[in-house]
């Protein structure tokens, strides 16, 4: 289209926008099994709309938003129990992974980064942008990073080591404590984008499958995504840094003295929205939701096994993946029938993220349709 010469009326605009919005998938349709985002709470969405203009790239203009941001940072710090000097609000874990490696590179003046083969593709972006040299570390039989290979490869040229708490494909957790032991002074960045809001709520539950704790002394940076299992509106990632970073860029024309994020102007509405969400759900609400996601995950595993699928690992969190030699055909065929399911690459398979918007009826309906395809 071209920009119209004369502006249109609200009715004309909304008519078009409504019809186009119908093309978007909706979490509440019970048909989205491949997304790590979910339906936020009613109060989260309401508060988000109130702060659409807030821009913490220029923080002096938004001291109210900034106050809620400080409270969100305190709340999540206390949830994970990690003693960190600095917290940044970001657009998501991609930005956090890039900033983590940016800091590691500048602090060390080195190039090599040891990255688990299971790590998210955002590390590829980070290495490419920062001219770093990724060294991919193979996985053990449970698809966790093989710590013995890290031990072999870590050396004086290593800028950083990456560990993942909740891998994208399988929801697996790397042995972060052993990696931390090996790192010594080498920068350790942990990507807990997905696991960050699952693991703390499964402590002591019958679904606890990982003994991972966030409070290791020698982890330099953590990334957690409220816009995944934190159920925040998008976009919101949080980065926790053991030491306040000297790496910042002065922002002389703005109300803040410097910026440490990649984005400059940034829609910050998801921060008050997340503040509202954590206050609305409380620890009790989150715990119930995460436990329900786990229950549904094991239900989905059972139903997939009835269809003859074999799980790749016993789920550690609410992600269930199954071996299949041609996932693309199934993903495409299911998409034609209105279902979004996902795939794994290592190993090849089908992947389901059992988010809070997924329920047993939705699983049954999806399994019936998938059953016709196999």
Single out the residue of 34, 40, 35, 29 nearest to residue 365, CA to CA: 29
In the complex with ligand PLP, the residue whose CB is nearer, 224 or 303, is 224
Single out the residue of 74, 300, 30 nearest to residue 171, CA to CA: 300
Among the listed ranges 12-20, 162-170, 269-277, 299-307, the one in contact with ligand PLP (CB under 6 A) is 162-170
Can residue 94 be called a binding residue for ligand PLP (CB under 6 A)? yes
Q: How far is the CB of 10 from ligand PLP (least distance, A)?
A: 33
Q: How far is the CB of 4 from ligand PLP (least distance, A)?
A: 34
Among 193, 202, 278, 320, binds ligand PLP (CB under 6 A): 193
Can residue 242 be called a binding residue for ligand PLP (CB under 6 A)? no
In the complex with ligand PLP, the residue whose CB is nearer, 143 or 303, is 143
In the complex with ligand PLP, the residue whose CB is nearer, 166 or 362, is 166
Can residue 168 be called a binding residue for ligand PLP (CB under 6 A)? yes
Burial code (b: 16+ CB inside 10 Å, e: under 16) for 13-49 equals eeeeeeeeeeeeeebeebbbbbebbbbbbeebeebbe
Three-state SS at 11: helix
CA angle 297-301-302, nearest 5°? 120
Q: How far is the CB of 304 from ligand PLP (least distance, A)?
A: 21
Can residue 171 be called a binding residue for ligand PLP (CB under 6 A)? no
Return d(Cα 359, Cα 363) in angstroms, integer. Answer: 6
In the complex with ligand PLP, the residue whose CB is nearer, 93 or 301, is 93
Which two three-digit tokens encode residue 312?
């790749």
Q: How far is the CB of 222 from ligand PLP (least distance, A)?
A: 12
Give the torsion sign (CA, 203, 73, 355, 348): negative
Omega into 347 within 30° of 0, i.e. cis?
yes
Q: x-or-dash pattern for ligand PLP, window 33-62, by CB under 6 A?
A: ---x--------------------------
In the complex with ligand PLP, the residue whose CB is nearer, 303 or 357, is 357
DSSP class of 173: B
Q: How far is the CB of 246 from ligand PLP (least distance, A)?
A: 25
Among the listed ranges 87-95, 148-156, 299-307, 355-363, the one in contact with ligand PLP (CB under 6 A) is 87-95
Q: Which residue has the tokens 């940044």?
A: 88
Q: What is the DSSP string of 277-313?
A: HHHHHHHHHHHHHHHHHHHHHHHHHHHHHHTT--BSS
In the complex with ligand PLP, the residue whose CB is nearer, 209 or 360, is 209
Return d(Cα 80, Cα 68) in angstroms, integer. Answer: 19
Among 68, 72, 79, 93, binds ligand PLP (CB under 6 A): 93
Cα diameter, the chain: 66
Residue nearest to ligand PLP (CB): 92
Site for ligand PLP in 115-134 (CB under 6 A): 120, 122
Among 194, 222, 274, 275, binds ligand PLP (CB under 6 A): 194
Among the listed ranges 49-57, 163-171, 208-216, 292-300, the one in contact with ligand PLP (CB under 6 A) is 163-171
Among 47, 225, 241, 334, binds ligand PLP (CB under 6 A): 225
Single out the residue of 118, 119, 114 nearest to residue 104, CA to CA: 114
Can residue 92 be called a binding residue for ligand PLP (CB under 6 A)? yes
Q: How many chain residues bind ligand PLP (CB under 6 A)?
A: 13
Walk across the sheet containing 342-344 and list its strands: 319-323, 349-353, 342-344
CA 251 to chain centre: 29
In the complex with ligand PLP, the residue whose CB is nearer, 290 or 303, is 290
Phi/psi at 298 (5° precision): -70, -30
Can residue 191 be called a binding residue for ligand PLP (CB under 6 A)? yes
Where does this chain bind ligand PLP (CB under 6 A)? 36, 92-94, 120, 122, 164, 166, 168, 191, 193-194, 225
């Amino acid at each position: 289209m071209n920009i119209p010469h004369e502006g249109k009326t609200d009715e004309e605009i909304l008519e078009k926008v409504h019809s186009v919005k119908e093309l978007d998938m909706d979490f509440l349709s019970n048909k989205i099994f491949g997304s790590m985002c979910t339906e936020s709470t009613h109060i989260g969405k309401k508060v988000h709309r109130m702060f659409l203009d807030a821009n913490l790239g220029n923080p002096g203009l938004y001291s109210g938003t900034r106050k809620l941001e400080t409270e969100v940072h305190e709340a999540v710090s206390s949830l994970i129990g990690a003693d960190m000097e600095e917290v940044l609000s970001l657009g998501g874990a991609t930005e956090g992974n890039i900033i983590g490696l940016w800091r590691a590179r500048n602090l060390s003046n080195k190039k090599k980064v040891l990255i688990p083969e299971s790590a998210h593709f955002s590390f590829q972006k980070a290495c490419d942008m920062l001219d770093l040299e990724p060294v991919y570390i193979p996985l053990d039989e449970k698809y966790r990073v093989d710590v013995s290979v890290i031990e072999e490869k870590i050396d004086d040229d290593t800028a950083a080591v990456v560990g993942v708490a909740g891998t994208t494909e399988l929801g697996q957790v790397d042995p972060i404590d052993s990696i931390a032991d090996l790192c010594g002074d080498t920068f350790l960045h942990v990507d807990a984008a997905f696991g960050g809001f699952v693991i703390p709520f499964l402590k002591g539950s019958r679904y606890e499958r990982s003994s991972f704790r966030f409070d290791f002394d020698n982890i330099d940076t953590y990334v957690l995504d409220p816009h995944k299992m934190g159920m925040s509106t998008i976009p919101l990632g949080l980065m926790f840094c053991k030491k306040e970073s000297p790496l910042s860029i002065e922002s002389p024309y703005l109300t803040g003295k410097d910026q440490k994020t990649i984005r400059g102007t940034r829609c910050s509405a998801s921060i008050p929205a997340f503040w509202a969400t954590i206050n609305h759900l409380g620890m009790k609400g989150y715990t119930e939701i995460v436990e329900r996601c786990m229950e549904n995950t094991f239900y989905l595993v059972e139903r997939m096994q009835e269809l003859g699928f074999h799980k790749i690992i016993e789920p550690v969190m609410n992600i269930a993946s199954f071996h299949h030699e041609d996932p693309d055909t199934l993903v495409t065929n299911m998409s034609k029938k209105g279902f979004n399911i996902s795939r794994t690459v290592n190993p090849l398979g089908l992947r389901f993220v059992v988010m809070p918007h997924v329920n047993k009826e939705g699983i049954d309906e999806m399994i019936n349709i998938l059953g016709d395809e196999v």
